[in-house]
Amino acid sequence: MSDPCRLHPVTIIFQTLRLVKELFFMLIFVFISLVSTGVSHKFLLLVITLTGVAIMLIIAGSVLYWWRFIYYVKDGELRIEYGILIRKRRYIPTERIQSINLTAGIIHRLLGLTKVEIDTATSSEHAEATLAAVELSEAKKLQALLSAGQPETDTGHQHTSTADFSRPESGVHYHLPVKDLLIAASTSGSFGVLFSILLAVISPIDKLFPSLNLFDLLTDFVQSNLTLILYLVPLIALVSWLAAIIYTAVKYANFTLVRRDTDVYVSYGLLERREFTIPLRRIQAIRITENPLRQLFGLTTVYIECAGYGKEYGGSRMLYPLLRRRDLESFLQAVAPHDWELDTHRPGQLGIRPVPSRALFRYQLRLCLPVFLVVIPAVIWLPYGFLALLILGLASMLAYWQYKDAGWITSGPLLVLRSRFLSKVTMLIPQRCVQSAHVNRSFFQRRRKLASIGVRVLSGFDGAFFSVRDVDAPDGEALLDWCKPKRASSEDH
């Protein structure tokens, strides 16, 4: 592939749509503003004509962008040259490439294409290089050439940090059944998405066009149609829940995970197919999450924290959407790196060291005090305000739930941290991945002989911090002792 190659011509459409999308909402707001102010038809026609000219210029620019964009591999480098007026060249040594991720949307799949995203250790929020539309056979050739220059792993085999669009035959396979996919979608807890979208749309419109008084209109409507609202709220909640089910089911359809010798291959998606490989050496921690609904039915979701090379492909990402709690231990033993010794130190058999009973007061105070300050004025001044006391009761129940679930334990090379905000979260962190350990003690914690402990691991570029509040004070010193082979720090406030 030393000869310069161009992207597929469909790139022109992708580039045009991307640029038009950036202008779309601005044009809509301008159009509404002009119509609402009563401008003349001639002026409105002029604006429409200028918009058409702008779109034609965008199309012409997209054609030139495609024509001037070339890529090739030469002398151990991926070389990309692009730019319409100013010619730019980007050379990426193959040994610096951390990941090659392939994504195929609907148009890509219809035309036998794929998008190639190439990340290096210096990639920030976006990929170091993106090839918007490449033929699948061409992507496979590029994949092989770029992977050939990557360093060898500790086992002496060359590591390929990219996934082919054909499913690997070797390794331990996990496939999410349709039944489990629907359960995962139904219990995802994301059925508030329509409310968020509604608020996100109303808020900027109300700011741009204050004369419309959208929030005032909604308030008047609610006050004059209270009975109708009582019927609409459950209906909207149901529609929102169904929308969340459809979104989750479409996003994670055909979810497949394959654990191979040096990496984990993951693929999923119905409309947009995503395939990638996670090198085992990049996995820094495993996070097991149980929202209240899934916890009730004994279901969990497994995430991983990765030492990343970009905002999208580093950091926290889902490893498996839905697992029954009884299957969790065998899954972790099969998927986690062998040096975590999960066969010997089984998380399901580790007795979590709970926080002491004297910490309950702090858990209750931390959550209930802010709620109390809001509820009391409501009780005093609002009609039926006493019903707000129910919120205080729910906050107290959640605080007790947080207290009961909090705890930690170490076993061999493994640290287990457990906490809850709304969802119960259990962290599995190997000793070698701990970047720093922290012990914090406030004045009030000293009086009760308590401390808050936490560790930081690599995740994305900023890292991730996991903590447990109000453990026994000696537990803080025990954590620092356990972390001694790694860097440890103690912060005393």
d(CA 96, CA 93): 6
Instruction: State whether 326 and 459 are in the same domain.
Output: yes
Reported as type and span, the H/E element at residue 111 is helix 106-111
Instruction: State whether 415 and 377 are in the same domain.
Output: no
Give the strand order in the sheet containing 256-259: 129-135, 113-120, 97-104, 273-279, 263-268, 256-259, 172-175
d(CA 462, CA 50): 44
Q: How far is CA 396 from CA 109, 370, 371, 373, in A?
A: 51, 11, 10, 14
Q: Is position 349 within any domain?
A: yes
Q: Is position 15 within any domain?
A: yes
| Chosen domain end from 147, 171, 195 | 147
Q: Is position 160 within any domain?
A: no
pLDDT at 446: 93
Instruction: State whether 412 and 398 are in the same domain.
Output: no
Q: Is position 374 within any domain?
A: yes
pLDDT at 491: 46
When divided into structural domains, the chain yields a total of 4
Burial 346-365 (b: 16+ CB within 10 A, else e): ebeeeebbbbbeebbebbbe
Instruction: State whether 94 and 117 are in the same domain.
Output: yes
Instruction: State whether 307 and 377 are in the same domain.
Output: no
**Weakly modelled stretches of the chain, pLDDT under 70:** 1, 32-39, 121-126, 147-170, 189-231, 308-314, 343-350, 460-461, 485-493
Q: Give the domain range for residue 245.
A: 185-251
Instruction: State whether 383 and 332 are in the same domain.
Output: no
Instruction: State whether 370 and 439 are in the same domain.
Output: no
Taking a C-beta distance cutoff of 8 angstroms, is the pair 427, 449 a contact? no
Q: Is position 172 within any domain?
A: no
Largest CA distance in the chain: 79
Instruction: State whether 89 and 20 are in the same domain.
Output: yes
The neighbouring-strand residues paired with 116 are 102, 131
pLDDT at 76: 85
Instruction: State whether 139 and 268 are in the same domain.
Output: no
Q: Is position 163 within any domain?
A: no
- CA dihedral of 188, 189, 192, 196, whole degrees rounded to 10: -80
Q: Determine the 3-state secondary structure of 284 from DSSP.
A: strand
